[in-house]
Structure formats: structure tokens, C-alpha cells
Amino acid sequence: MTTDAPEVVGEIAALRERLGAARAAGARIALVPTMGALHDGHLALVDRARELADVVVVSIFVNPLQFGAGEDLDRYPRTLDADVAALASRGVDLVFAPTAREMYPRGDVSTRITAGPVGDRYEGSSRPGHFDGMLTVVAKLLHIAMPDVALFGRKDAQQVFLVERMVADLDVPTVIEVVETVREDDGLALSSRNRFLDEPHRRAALALSEALRAASDAAAEGLAEALAEAAAAFGDHDDAELDYFVIVDPATLLPVADDFRGEALALVAARVGGTRLIDNAPLTL
Ligand code: PAF
């Protein structure tokens, strides 16, 4: 484990060379894929990676393929120097920070991973093509780094579901490790996009976690009651515009039936000011 600044590598060949040597020496490799603008949620992934592997690689790449026209690709925060400084104190060995040209030398790809029907729901419904682009870059990163384990945050529940499906469907020999969402004291899930929120919008953003808590508290009374309580809690925040609040079966990510009883997952997305936020929580109906 290192405590120095990680080596920053921009080229695929250079990363492969470093990791090939480590692998040949018997090292176990962990990959933490990120788009940078790191916060404590990312650092929790890194800390878990450190426990699981000898060599920890963090990729920092704002992947154009997963942003649609009119989304926030251009304004997505890019803070590489601060990110590398934050990772230095966590014993990260390598930061892979390629350019878009390095990842997509032909400008676009003609081969994409297709997320399937679940990829068209929820986030996919508001962001067509998002999950195909996300899975395509994750597949590329897994091929490039060939890690023993790759770590993802539970806040992006649909992303986690689809990455796990891709790895299973395509027999990718990487273990996917999911790390719990890190929250502020008042419940707001950490997100790189939280930095866009001014103070009134920061308060409005609590609509998501409060709706999730209300649904969870009412879950024992059944689906209709859980959804009604979530809607009431969300409605307390005028500046938050609900995109969806849905309760799904974690095994399929499909909405549960009205009489469903058992472990379920609530997913929520909203726009707060110009910022799109998502969150989720398990509950028992
Ligand atoms: O969750 C993210 O930050 C991105 O979707 C990921 C997994 C790094 C792929 O670009």
C-alpha cells in the first residue's frame, strides 16, 4: 500500500504495462471507475478497494457516450488535481485519466453494449442511451484494467443492476463489489452534482431522501400507502420537481405488483434547479 500521490496514467498501453507487471508479481487488482469530482462516497469505494486488493486503480473519465444532447457533459465538474490530491491520502496506486481521444480514437464507437429493457426505464427513460454508453465504457475499462474486483456505489442502483447483469451475461471474470451510499447528516446522498446546488436548492434536494424515508416508514402498510407517504413528503419541497418515484423488485428492477410483500427497493429521481439527482433505499413491504 502506498501513501504517496498516485501515478497518473493517461494512456491505455501504459496502464496495461503497469498492471501486467503487478499481475505477474501475483498482485490482486481493484478498479474504481469514476467520472472524477470525487467526494466521500468515492473515497468509501477506494477504502473498500484497498481492503480487497494489493493494487488500487481509480479511473477518472467523464464519458461522453453516456451523456445525451442537452445534458450536462460540458458543465460536469472536472477537478483532476484536487481528485489526485484526495486519493493520495487513501493509498491509491494508479489514477487512469485518459482523454476522450484515447478512449474513442475514432470519435465514436460502432460497437456498443445494449442495456436491454431495464435500461430504457427510470433513468433510461429520461436519458435515452445513457446506460448503453455507461455499460460500453465500463466494459472498456474492465478490458483495459482486467481487475479482479471493480467497485460501484449503491446510490446508482440501476447502474449497479445493469453492470452486474452485463458481467453475468458476458462472463466477465471481475467480481462486482457494491458499496453503500454515503450521506450527509441530514440524509442527502453524496453526489458530484451536489456542488451545483445553492443553499435553497440544497434544502430542496432533501425531498429525495425524505420521500424515501417516508416510504420506508409506511412500507409495512403496503405499496399504496408507501407511495402516498412518499408523495406527501416530496410535496413539502416546492423547488424539487419529481421525475419518478417507483418501488421495484430488486431481483428484476421491475415495479412490484400492488399486493407485493417482501424486500423491495424504492428509486427516486428529481430535478432541483438545473440539477438532476437520484437516490434509492431498500424497504420491506
Ligand atoms: O458512476 C459513474 O461515475 C459512471 O457512470 C461510471 C461508472 C464511472 C462510468 O462512466
How much of the chain, in percent, has pLDDT values that exceed 90?
97
Domain boundary pick from 138, 155, 179? 179
Domains: count for the chain: 2
Q: In this structure, are 151 and 241 located in the same domain?
A: no
42: annotated active-site residue: yes
Grid cell, residue 79, equals: 477537478
Please report whether residue 263 resides in a domain. Answer: yes
Q: In this structure, are 113 and 157 located in the same domain?
A: yes
**pLDDT tens per residue across span 138-172:** 999 999 999 999 999 999 999 999 999 999 999 99
Query: In the sheet where 263-272 sits, what is the strand order?
Result: 240-248, 263-272, 275-284
Q: Is 39 annotated as a binding residue?
A: yes
Please report whether residue 187 resides in a domain. Answer: no
Which segments within the chain are labelled E, that is strand?
A: 7-9, 29-34, 55-60, 94-96, 149-153, 175-179, 240-248, 263-272, 275-284
Nearest to 44 by CA among 176, 183, 188: 183
Give the residue whose CA is nearest to atom 1 of ligand 1: 34
**pLDDT tens per residue across span 241-253:** 999 999 999 999 9
Give the residue whose CA is nearest to atom 5 of ligand 1: 134
CATH number of the domain to which 238 belongs: 3.30.1300.10
Grid cell, residue 174, equals: 471481475
Q: In this structure, are 107 and 137 located in the same domain?
A: yes
Q: In this structure, are 169 and 198 located in the same domain?
A: no
How much of the chain, in percent, has pLDDT values that exceed 70?
99
Report yes or no on whether pTM surpasses 0.95.
yes
Q: What is the mean pLDDT of the chain?
A: 97
Domain boundary pick from 136, 154, 179? 179
What is the pLDDT, as a whole number, of residue 1?
A: 44
**pLDDT tens per residue across span 7-54:** 999 999 999 999 999 999 999 999 999 999 999 999 999 999 999 999
Average pLDDT in the 90-109 region? 96
Average pLDDT in the 221-226 region? 98
Average pLDDT in the 78-89 region? 95
Please report whether residue 184 resides in a domain. Answer: no
Q: How far is the CA of 33 from the centre of ligand 1 (A)?
A: 6
Q: In this structure, are 44 and 164 located in the same domain?
A: yes
Is residue 125 a contact partner of residue 255, using CB atoms and an 8 Å limit?
no
**pLDDT tens per residue across span 58-69:** 999 999 999 999
Q: Is 74 annotated as a binding residue?
A: no
Q: In this structure, are 167 and 76 located in the same domain?
A: yes
Is residue 179 a contact partner of residue 151, using CB atoms and an 8 Å limit?
yes
Average pLDDT in the 227-233 region? 98
| Confidence check: pLDDT of 75 > 70 | yes
What is the pLDDT, as a whole number, of residue 101?
A: 98
Q: Residue 137: CB within 6 Å of ligand 1? A: yes
Q: How far apart are CA 249 and CA 257, in angstroms?
A: 9
Q: How far apart are CA 11 and CA 278, in angstroms?
A: 32
Q: Residue 36: CB within 6 Å of ligand 1? A: no
What is the pLDDT, as a whole number, of residue 3?
A: 60
Is residue 212 a contact partner of residue 235, using CB atoms and an 8 Å limit?
no
Alpha helices in 104-182 (DSSP H): 123-126, 130-145, 157-169
Structural domain including 218 reads: 194-284
